[in-house]
Chains A and B, each alone.
Chain A
Amino acid sequence: MNAVIKASGLQKSYGGNRVVDGLDLSINRGECFGLLGPNGAGKTTTLRMLLGLIAPDSGTAMLLDLPVPQAAREARIRVGVVPQMDNLDPDFTVAENLLVYGRYFGMQDSEIEARIPSLLEFASLTSKRDAKVPTLSGGMKRRLTLARALVNDPDVIFLDEPTTGLDPQARHLIWQRLRELTQQGKTLLLTTHFMDEAERLCHRLAVMDNGKLISQGTPRELIEQNIEPQVVEVFGETSGQWANEHAANYAQRFEVSGESVFCYVQDAQPLVKQLQAQTELRYLHRPANLEDVFLKLTGREMRE
């Protein structure tokens, strides 16, 4: 396999606090790779090191076969970045944003102008070509940021929480576009804390916490490796009491969170039968998903 992003033993500390701690990563050409983790897990710092924007304290990183940060400038000619927070030029129109950004890659104006119509079409912004950035909705701004990241026709695209703060319609449109990019053979590295996003888009995922990768694989592998296949959620005022008396008899593992009990089981039938007799409790039986894996690996308690 042809790795376009490779990291080994990456380490970075800020003021004695180890933000990234011995990270190894290998992402193949054409892959959509998701980096999951709670806030402060070190995802953005990892992206910045892989882009060669900051130097690791130790370890090495390769981007498109070039060592970074040493050859970051050469590598970034073929890379696009969608940052976590919008940093479009508010003084410019949609088209001017693309033109000005393309120049930073050393592209000729004629070359950029020729790409603008297809970029606008990709971002569903053709009718907004001459609109100023402050007049755009949040979803439009994100799509313009995505189009801007494609101005140099990159081989690799970094996306730092690409759909945070968007409404469902806007998220779905972004997802559709990202899928089109993988179909074109682009390599995508994205961070997110939306599990449905990761499950839908990513070929492979890694869960990161406290600067370390704690699990890695396809979405299905992550679920199979880390968690029982069935989940039964039990709700109701007496759920806590029920859990104390019965949960351990039916579930391999269970967690109480407020008035909900999450039971993780190999076979849900006996438990479901037991619950059908409990009139004061409601329950939901579903297959295990990535969110269950994420919560198991990184814990239920709040961060920050």
Chain B
Amino acid sequence: MSSQYLALPRLSLRFFPIWRRHWLVWKKIAAPSILGHLADPVIYMLGLGYGLGSLLPEMGGMSYMAFLAAGTVCYSTMNSASFEALYSGFARMHEQRTWEAILNTPVSLDDVVLSEILWAATKSLMSGAAVLAVIWILGLSHSLMSLWMIPLALLIGLTFAAIGLIMTALAPAYDFFMYYFTLVITPMMLLCGVFFPVTQLPASMQIVAGALPLTHAIDLARPLMSGAVPPQALLHIGVLLAYTLVSFYVSLVLFRRRLSR
């Protein structure tokens, strides 16, 4: 691989006009978009929370609904960043040729990729905040500590946007994304502690879960929602940041290679 692809990211504030472009598009479809952010996670949370919750006395020292609430914020945040980075990102790169138009101006590919990550994280932030608002309204979290969920949603968004963009850089077509959702996103939702504690899994699967970013996000979220300082918080933040930075760099190298024709 040619060395010009491997250069470190050269970041600038020129990403900001691109972020504003995405924001302007989003404002035009804000109502269905907010509904989309809310409907799926809230239905899961309420359905499982009331349905399964009535059979379970408690989980992890809290009501099942409250247990589920922390996991729901995290996985809905993961999902919105992933969908944005994969499907919408691919549309902008490939189908609509939005990137091509932008790259003809004094904006570089590094700025474009940075704007994609920050925009997908912005969507995560909105999605996380919307679910959090429902949780507050339902009285499932009473602690001001749960406000820390907002910056956490941004961090989770950055992580999954960066990982997702690797897929976008490799994708020949939209169909390709099914592999990622089936083999990466869905297993994470089921293994990383959204619906039950990771400690219920066999030891070998716990090791796998421990390496996955969503586990670390949930390990931060669940104590915060019930008003406690998360144990090993720096470790979990460090893992999420490492996933973000490495994935950003890898996706950038892959985009540089892909768009060099």
A residues neighboring B (CB under 8 Å): 14, 51, 53-55, 73-74, 76-77, 79, 81, 83, 85-92, 96, 100-101, 103-106, 148, 152
Binding site secondary structure of chain B: helix
Question: Which residues of B are interface residues toward A (Cβ below 8 A)?
Answer: 4, 14, 17-18, 20-21, 24-25, 28, 96-98, 100-108, 260-261
Given contacts A51-B104, A89-B21, 14 further A-B contacts (CB under 8 A): A53-B103, A53-B104, A55-B260, A76-B105, A83-B100, A87-B100, A88-B101, A89-B25, A89-B96, A100-B21, A104-B102, A104-B105, A104-B107, A105-B106
How far is the CB of B174 from the nearest CB of chain A, in Å?
Answer: 17
Q: How far is the CB of A134 from chain B (nearest CB, A)?
A: 11
- Whether A81 contacts B24 by the Cβ 8 Å rule is no
> What's the Cα separation between A96 and B103 when bound, in Å?
18
Please indicate the chain A residues that have their CB under 8 angstroms from the CB of B260 in the complex: 54-55
* Residues in A whose Cβ lies below 8 Å from that of B25: 89, 91-92
Closest to B103 in A: A53
From B4, B28, B103, residue with most partner A Cβ within 10 Å: B103
Cβ–Cβ < 8 Å partners of A91 in chain B: 25, 28
| B18 touching A90, Cβ below 8 Å | no
Asked if A103 and B97 sit within 8 Å, CB to CB, the answer is no
Contact assessment for A100 and B17 in the assembled complex, using a CB-CB cutoff below 8 Å: yes
The CA of A76 and the CA of B102, in the complex, are separated in Å by 11
7 nearest A-B residue pairs (beta carbon): A87-B97, A103-B17, A104-B105, A81-B104, A87-B101, A91-B25, A73-B106
Nearest to A45 among chain B residues (CB) is: B261
Bound-state Cα–Cα, A152 to B20, Å? 18
Chain A interface mostly: loop
In the complex, the chain B residue whose C-beta lies closest to that of A48 is B261
Q: A104 and B96: CB pair below 8 A? A: no
* Closest chain A CB from B9 CB (angstroms): 15
Shortest CB-to-CB span from B81 to chain A, Å, is 20
Complex Cα distance A86/B165, Å? 24
Beta-carbon nearest neighbor of A15 in chain B: B261
Cα separation A229 to B260 with both chains bound (whole Å): 43
- By beta carbon, the residue of chain A nearest B104 is A81
- Residue of A55, A90, A100, A104 touching B24 (CB-CB under 8 A): A100
| Interface-central residue, B102, B105, B108, by most chain A CB under 10 Å | B105
| Cβ distance B84 to chain A, nearest Cβ, rounded Å | 15
Looking at the assembled complex, report how far the CB atom of A85 sits from the nearest CB atom of chain B, in whole angstroms.
Answer: 6
- Rounded to whole Å, the gap between the CB of B249 and the closest CB of chain A is 20
Measured between beta carbons, the chain B residues less than 8 angstroms from A92 are: 24-25
Inter-chain contact B97/A106, CB cutoff 8 Å: no
Contacts A92-B24, A103-B20; A77 near B4 (Cβ below 8 A): no
State A19–B102 Cα separation when bound (angstroms): 25
Is there an interface contact between B106 and A55, defined as CB atoms closer than 8 Å?
no
B21 touches A54 (CB 8 A): no
Q: How far is the CA of A79 from the CA of B24 in the complex (A)?
A: 25
Q: Please, how many angstroms separate the alpha-carbon atoms of A86 and B98 in the complex?
A: 10
Q: How far is the CA of A87 from the CA of B91 in the complex (A)?
A: 12
CA A73 – CA B98 in complex, angstroms?
18
Q: Is B108 a contact partner of A73 (Cβ separation < 8 A)?
A: yes
Bound complex: CA A101 to CA B28 (Å): 18
Q: Which residues of the partner chain A approach B102 to less than 8 Å between Cβ atoms?
A: 104
Q: How far is the CA of A105 from the CA of B111 in the complex (A)?
A: 13
- Find out whether the CB atom of B96 lies under 8 angstroms from the CB atom of A87: yes
**Which residues of chain A are near B100, meaning CB under 8 Å?**
83, 87
> Distance in Å from the Cβ of B1 to the closest Cβ of chain A?
14
Alpha-carbon distance between A106 and B105 when the two chains are bound, in angstroms: 10
**CA gap between A30 and B102 in the complex, in Å:** 26
Contact B106 A96 (CB under 8 A): no
How far apart sit A118 and B96, CA to CA, in the bound complex (Å)? 27
CB distance from B10 to the nearest CB of A (A): 10
Can you report 25 residue pairs joining A to B where beta carbons are below 8 Å apart? Answer: A51-B104, A53-B103, A54-B260, A73-B107, A76-B104, A76-B105, A77-B106, A87-B98, A89-B21, A89-B25, A89-B96, A89-B98, A91-B25, A91-B28, A92-B25, A100-B17, A100-B24, A101-B105, A103-B21, A104-B17, A104-B106, A104-B107, A105-B106, A106-B17, A152-B105
